[in-house]
Amino acid sequence: MFDVSDKVAWITGASWGGLGYFHAKCLAEAGAHIIATDLPSMTAELAEANARLESNNVTILTMPSDVTSEDDVQAVVNRADKEFGRLDVLVNNAGIGSDQPALDMPLRDWNHVLNVNLTGSWLCAKAVCHFMVKKEIRGKIINIASIYGRQADVDPAAPYYATKAAIINLTRALAAEWARYGINVNAIGPGYFPTRMTREVEESPELKRRFMERIMLHRPGNPETDLRGTILLLASNASDYITGQTIFVDGGWTAV
């Protein structure tokens, strides 16, 4: 039931150093063919991801792509059609953070976070759904939310918190709309995982101490292992009767 062999999975924000790479690595090691995308400015990190994934006996394609561009998003779907003739899984991982106080934040910065985290996820999901319906593929869409989609924090990051909460409800909305096509839409809410995006936690003993106090298991997540089960569940037939749900993989952060 957890077999994803020969499925084709597109992971956004999948360059080396972020959680997207580990999502791609998990699916590739389980036998899925991978389309890994990230911003054109991340070309070197995408090349590094490609080199590290190439040892698996699957096809790995990397493409520069901006999830806020409809043309870029459609180009990835067209490439999937040309190379594989199918696309079974989308992992909507691309996202950016924010550390500006809401009171001082320019509108352009607010809009930038919303465009990447929320609008980008919708654009990718929409394009992939159109393709799946056309090809009669009963596919899986996995949105990456966050513990901060369920609660905020004292650190200033209002647009990030807002978009991750919106991703959770977008997941419900798309699941309700697209169930009739046999497409499952779910989300994962990761807790604290050491990656490029969370580097400031590792660099601040006080911030790291605060995080460890919030995590019931008293350790950060391991990006190599702790998300694997959830990714495989939601990408495979094991989740055929699960849709509209967000699974928090957070060591117990959101339990209390």
* pLDDT tens digit sequence for 114-162: 999 999 999 999 999 999 999 999 999 999 999 999 999 988 999 999 9
Sorted by where each starts, the structural domains of the chain and their CATH numbers stand as 8-248 (3.40.50.720)
CB 161 within 8 A of CB 153: yes
Choice among 160, 161, 181, 192 that is catalytic? 160
* Closest-CA residue to 123 (of 199, 231, 37, 202): 37
Q: HEC profile for 181-222? A: HCCEEEEEEECCCCCHHHHHHHCCHHHHHHHHHHCCCCCCCC
Where does the pLDDT of residue 88 fall: very low under 50, low under 70, confident under 90, or very high at 90 and above?
very high
pLDDT per position as a tens digit, 183-195? 999 999 999 999 8
Distance CA 124, CA 127 (A): 5
Q: Is 196 left (phi over 0), alpha (psi -120 to 50) or beta?
A: alpha
CA atoms within 13 A on the CB side of 112: 11
Close Cβ partners of 35 (under 8 Å, ≥ 6 residues apart): 8, 9, 10, 11, 61, 62, 63, 76, 79, 80, 87
CA dihedral over 80, 84, 86, 90, signed as positive or negative = negative
* Residue 57, pLDDT score: 84
DSSP state of 172: H
Dist. CA 114–CA 241, nearest whole Å: 30
- Strand (E) positions, 8-96? 8-12, 33-38, 60-64, 89-92
Token output for 209:
């101490």
Rounded to an integer, the average pLDDT of 97-112 is 95
- Mean residue pLDDT of the chain comes to 95
161 catalytic per annotation: no
What are the φ/ψ torsions at residue 197 (nearest 5 degrees)? -75, -25
